[in-house]
Structure 1
Amino acid sequence: MSQVLHTPPPIQATADDDLAALAARHGLSVSGARPTVPQYVRQLWARRHFITAFATAKLTAQYSEAKLGQVWQVMTPLLNAAVYYFIFGVLLNTKHGVPDYIPFLVTGVFIWTFTQSSIMAGTRAISGNLGLVRALHFPRAALPISFALQQLQQLLFSMAALIVILLCFGVPVAASWLLVLPVLLLQFVFNAGVSMVMARMGAKTPDIAQLMPFLLRTWMYVSGVMWSIDKLTKKDNLPHVVTVLLQSNPAAVYIDLMRYALIDSFHSRQLPPHVWATATGWALLAGIGGFIYFWKAEETYGRG
């Protein structure tokens, strides 16, 4: 007698919504899913000690192989300032009519270097740390923020040299020096926001890092680092739209505010109109906008 084998009927595939409901009942979530903005902020705050320690470690290791070590944190912007003084102050005579030109120039170089270095480091924050991104689970915004914090720490070292330069050139200590704190806070928020924008772009297109030095150098030349925007904008033959663009340039705004805070010969009439509102607006626009822009691609970093 032959035995008939009956194949059991195929099990019906569970619908996606049933699977989602099942996962929800057991507290499961999609691996690597992007958290909400409030959750993301809480995750960043929970890792604030990591962000600080990572920034400090990067700063310490930056010149670890150089014989002068951390002295280069001050020497590098000072040497840049010396080169710019020779080229622009002496050869091109941009120092003409600018009181306290050396403090004026050094302040501009130090504050510009803070923005430039933050953006350059932020551009490589993801693409240059793929091993860390792929190995550990943490909010990826911690990387560009920590690089901006690293540059802030480096600026604070440089500020000590800047204070010595100001005093050597007869710039007196004044109550306006307290304005350095809000200026640095606004500039840090701006730098961190732009760094997050560039980190997302650099993660997708690493070649952007090769283009950034040229863009940043062009930005520096129109930011009044080596020359006075106030003197140029007072010329009658300058189109009004150019004047507005120069005065609204965020890098120039933070440089001028720092000069106003530290140099007594740099007066409030040399500042662009509504300068504090402009500085705050740029910080909020870059900080919040850059954060949201970076967060929207959170689940894509380190993949592909």
Structure 2
Amino acid sequence: MEPIDLYTSTGVKFWRHPEQMHSFLNKKGKTVISTHISPTGRCNLNCEYCSVSKRGPVEEISLGVIKTYISELLTRGLKAVILTGGGEPTLYNQFAEIVDYIREQGLGLGLITNGTAGKNFSNMDWVRISVNYDTINTLLKSTYVFDLGTTIGLSMVYSGKNKQISYIRLNELMDKLGAEYLRVLPNCLPQELDEAHEQIDRWIQDGTTYKGFAERVIHQHKQHRTPPLASCLQSYFRPYLSEYEGGTVFPCDSVVLNNHLSRFDKKYSICPAHKVGDYLDGRILPKFAPFNDCQGCVFYNNNMMLYRFTHGVHEFHKHQDLIKHENFI
């Protein structure tokens, strides 16, 4: 199994969940494997490449709404939760309470963080820390709390000032944290993606002279491609709960890339958090069509894989062995 399949959403892990896949095929509504939750829009940074840089006034989701949402998804097959943003999730006032509640339900838990606010990352299956030029010194000086066995990874957008971060500093940070990987991806501007990916390949190649660097780097080749579908099939497996309007379900986090929105737009909202079950049962239909509205989609391959599954094509037989973090799709 390639590292990119373990630590990013390539679609491979879907085949480890036949119950959800067949529920999807038979329209039974028990399709959810994992969900992303953005509890707050508050952030202590102002990154130049932020995908939600045009978000409105800071909003948050109450703990009660989050619990209701998770409780409903537990009846729909939910196995894992990823806390993300939005903003910086560890700034949420009841962050510890969310973590405790998720763990009490027996769910897997991952965290995407900038690593400069909260420092206690215990009780996580994995933590991915975003690295940038303005924070790497803070990350190197900070002391973090991780459980034994927690998978630690880093993520960096290869853009702007981040290109000035030295291989030595990145290696030092990976060694300090015991990071298993550094995911590198370009800023999500479709007109510049091909050149950006070429730059990343050259950057990684130049880094091979630094012992232990290149072999830990994952170059995620994100591309924007519009799925020729009337609905987002992936949304039934990994819905995204945004802080928008106090808790709104979206199909994914890449809707902010459509038409350079840089925010979660009501057009792409599916339903309030407490009605997610109605969506999964087909009683609520989305207000957008990917073939017409999702020019910024980075989950084209996943959606087309699911479409082919509805037409009899599957890969269950190829993935019978346990996959690391397989509940995080």
Q: Tell whether the structures are fold-level matches, with TM greater than 0.5.
A: no
Q: TM-score, normalised by structure 1?
A: 0.23
Give the number of the structure whose residues are more often strand, by fraction.
2
